[in-house]
């Protein structure tokens, strides 16, 4: 199970790396892109939490990967975002930050 989750997370890491290393990447963000990114990184976490019997180590591993992907995505973004930032972008960034706060990332 860990191997499958690892493959999925590595794919997501490489897939989102274009946005992760660019300090201006938030300007390309839309709410649709934000929801898709969250959905992709959240899926392994959801699957790990549904495992029967519960495997705390796998859930912790999936949560750590979830947090690291989202932290890498947002680490170069200015805090707070510059004045005049489009409301759609602000909504997408808020969505990502809320998801991170929900999981205590």
Q: What is the pLDDT of residues 49-66, one digit of tens each?
A: 888 887 888 889 999 999
Q: Is the pTM of this model over 0.75?
A: no
| Cα–Cα distance for residue pair 101/51, rounded to 1 Å | 24
Residue 41, domain extent? 2-102
**Measured CA distances, 34 to 1, 30, 59, 63, 94 (Å):** 27, 6, 23, 18, 10
Give the chain's radius of gyration (CA, Å): 14
The whole-angstrom separation of Cα 37 and Cα 32 is 9
Our count of domains for the chain comes to 1
Q: Determine the pLDDT at residue 30.
A: 82
């Amino acid at each position: 199970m860990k191997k499958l989750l690892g493959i999925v997370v590595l794919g997501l890491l490489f897939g989102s790396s274009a946005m992760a290393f660019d300090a201006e990447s938030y300007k390309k963000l839309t709410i649709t892109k934000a929801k898709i990114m969250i959905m992709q990184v959240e899926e392994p976490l959801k699957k790990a939490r549904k495992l029967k019997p519960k495997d705390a180590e796998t859930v912790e591993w999936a949560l750590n990967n979830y947090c690291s992907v989202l932290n890498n995505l947002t680490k170069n973004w200015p805090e707070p975002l510059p004045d005049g930032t489009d409301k759609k972008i602000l909504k997408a960034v808020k969505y990502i930050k809320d998801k991170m706060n929900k999981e205590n990332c």
